[in-house]
Amino acid sequence: MILSVEKTTLVRVLVRSMNFFVEFSFCAFTCVMMLVFAHITKAQAQSPTPSAIATNAIATSTTATSTIKSALLKQLQRGDTEYRVRLTSGDILSGKVLEVLEQSAGTSISASMPEEGIVLETSLGKLTIFLSEISEIIPRRSAYRHNHRAYIMPTAEPIGNNHFIGLWELIFAYAGAGIGDVVSLTGGRTLVPFLSGDEQATLVNVKITPYVFELDESGNRLFTCVGGNFALANTANQFWHAYVGATFKGARSSITGHVFYKVNEPSTYRIRAGNFLDFTARYPASTLGIGAALDTRIGDRHDMHFIGELWNANVLQPSATAILLGLRLSNTAVSMDAGLAIFTQPFVFPFVSFAWTPF
């Protein structure tokens, strides 16, 4: 009897603690969004006219000379564009290209250049890098190809040309493709061998990114999105959602917020999974939920990110909350996510995710 009372008390303490954490996270998220919009207002007030922007772009963004033979170096812009350079040794550098160097024999007043190269301004200073040492050089904005999603949650950034194929928890196969920089399409289905087709889960998501705001000269941007998704938990159980969201993206981190709305009936669902699960869940129509995500690069590493997600399916019910925390290891072709999902029941389980961006 004493053990039962202590167990009940412990569960209550854990639930209350999680509820407090959810409420605190929601308040913190609201404050962050208010700061972002205040920053937007200030940036717009101080932004130059379109003609001034065009004049400045022409003056500061000069391309490499036509005498450069390398196609890789010809496309580079000198000035404000920041690049990520992967060397043949595997090292990664980032910085602005100050000069594109031509091959030359040298003179009495200048040193010879055995091959073409670049002068890169980095945190270590100005570095001269020869073409034979460069494995890949791409704009920093394009270097991280997985910023259109956190773990489950889509961010407001479009998929664009970063089409991908993925596998979540080793049982949910999904894929995504972009149409321009506006429309993003994703879809997936579970592939559990011992479940019938009627007991599998399916998800289809459509996202539109209508507006992108350049906040300042340092490259901070705000993406906005609207979208909807359709999900099946067994063939008989349909879930339709509409949502709006925004992503603030800085040089190292991005913060995403969503508000979503369940639009369809019924309110009660019976969910089955072979002989392992058979339970009834309640999810009323016209329910308003929220989500938040953080994606931040760890230290000076270009391939490691910390990612956190917070979901609340019903803002009137703090216990309907899940938190996902973990790491992402990625390059321009593949990514691997691993972490823990924490529910307010309380319940914790590990998760993994893999994605391949082949194009």
Output 37 or 203, whichever has higher pLDDT. 203
The DSSP call for residue 113 is B
The reply to whether 181 and 281 lie within a common domain is yes
pLDDT at residue 2 above 80?
A: no
For the cut 70, the answer to whether the pLDDT of residue 129 exceeds it is yes
Please say whether the beta carbons of 132 and 88 come within 8 A. Answer: yes
**Does residue 50 fall inside a structural domain?**
no
Domain assignment present for residue 10? The answer is yes
Q: By mean pLDDT, which of 25-29, 58-62, 92-96, 334-338 is the weakest? A: 58-62
The reply to whether 31 and 132 lie within a common domain is no
Domain boundary among the residues 102, 122, 140 is at 140
pLDDT over 70 at 110, yes or no: no
User: Given this model, what pLDDT does residue 41 score?
Assistant: 44
Kindly provide the b/e burial profile for residues 228-259, where b requires at least 16 CB atoms within 10 angstroms of the residue's own CB.
bbeebbbeebeeebebebbbbbeeeebbbbbe
**What torsion, rounded to 10 degrees, do the Cα atoms 35, 39, 45, 48 define?**
-170
Closest alpha carbon to 152 in 231, 267, 262, 34 = 231
Mean pLDDT of the chain: 81
In a domain, 126, yes or no: yes
Asked if residue 109 has pLDDT above 70, the reply is no
**Residue span of the structural domain in which 9 resides:** 2-42+144-356
Q: 289 exposed, middle or buried (CB, 10 Å; 0-12, 13-18, 19+)?
A: buried
| Interacting residues of 147 by C-beta distance below 8 A, sequence separation 6+ | 155, 157, 249, 254, 295
Q: Are residues 338 and 246 in the same domain?
A: yes
Higher pLDDT residue, 303 or 338?
A: 338
* Predicted local confidence at residue 107, as pLDDT: 59
In tens, the pLDDT along 213-236 reads: 999 877 789 999 999 999 999 888
Indicate if the pLDDT at residue 36 is higher than 70. Answer: no
Indicate whether 253 belongs to any domain: yes
The gap between the terminal CA atoms of the chain, to the nearest Å, is 62
Residues 333 and 222 placed together within one structural domain of the fold: yes
Position 290 scores a pLDDT of 96
DSSP type of residue 218: T
Using the 3D structure, point to which of 122, 140, 158 is the last residue of a domain: 140
Amino acid identity for residue 351 in this structure? F
**Is residue 105 included in any domain, yes or no?**
yes
Using CB atoms within 10 Å of the CB of residue 193, give its burial: 0 to 12 exposed, 13 to 18 middle, 19+ buried: exposed
- Do residues 59 and 107 touch, judged by C-beta distance below 8 A? no
Q: Can you tell me the mean pLDDT for 126-147?
A: 86
| pLDDT at residue 5, as a whole number | 38
Nearest to 32 by CA among 292, 290, 325: 292
Task: Clarify whether residues 99 and 208 are in a common domain.
Answer: no
Residues 334 and 275 in one domain: yes
Look at residues 101, 88, 94 and name the one whose alpha carbon lies nearest to residue 128: 101
Does 230 share its domain with 109?
no
Q: Give buried/exposed letters for 26-44 (b at 16+ CB in 10 A, else e).
A: beebeeeeeebeeebeebe
Q: Across residues 34-43, what is the average pLDDT?
A: 47
For residue 39, pLDDT over 70 is answered with no
DSSP alpha helix (H) spans, 95-164: 140-143
CATH number at residue 14: 2.40.160.40
Report whether pLDDT(177) > 60: yes
Largest CA distance in the chain: 95
Answer whether residue 54 is part of any domain: no
Segment 310-322 mean pLDDT = 91
Q: How many domains does the chain have?
A: 2
Q: Are residues 181 and 329 in the same domain?
A: yes
Task: Give the per-residue pLDDT at 53.
Answer: 36
- Reply yes or no: is the peptide bond before residue 139 cis, omega within 30 of 0: no
pLDDT of residue 257: 97
The pTM for the full model equals 0.73
The mean pLDDT value for 95-121 works out to: 78
Q: Which residue has the tokens 């603690």?
A: 17
Residue 159 lies in a domain: yes
Domain end residue (candidates: 83, 117, 140): 140
275 and 346 co-located in one domain: yes
Instruction: Tell me the C-alpha distance between 252 and 295, whole Å.
Output: 9
Structure confidence by residue, pLDDT tens digits, 185-196: 999 999 999 889
- Residue 230: what are its φ and ψ, rounded to 5°? -130, 130
Residue 56 lies in a domain: no
Are residues 169 and 285 both part of a single domain? yes
Is 76 found in the same domain as 197? no
Query: How confident is the model over 131-139, as a mean pLDDT?
Result: 87
CATH number of the domain within which 126 lies: 2.30.30.720
Q: State what percent of residues in the chain have pLDDT above 90.
A: 43
Residues 108 and 200 in one domain: no
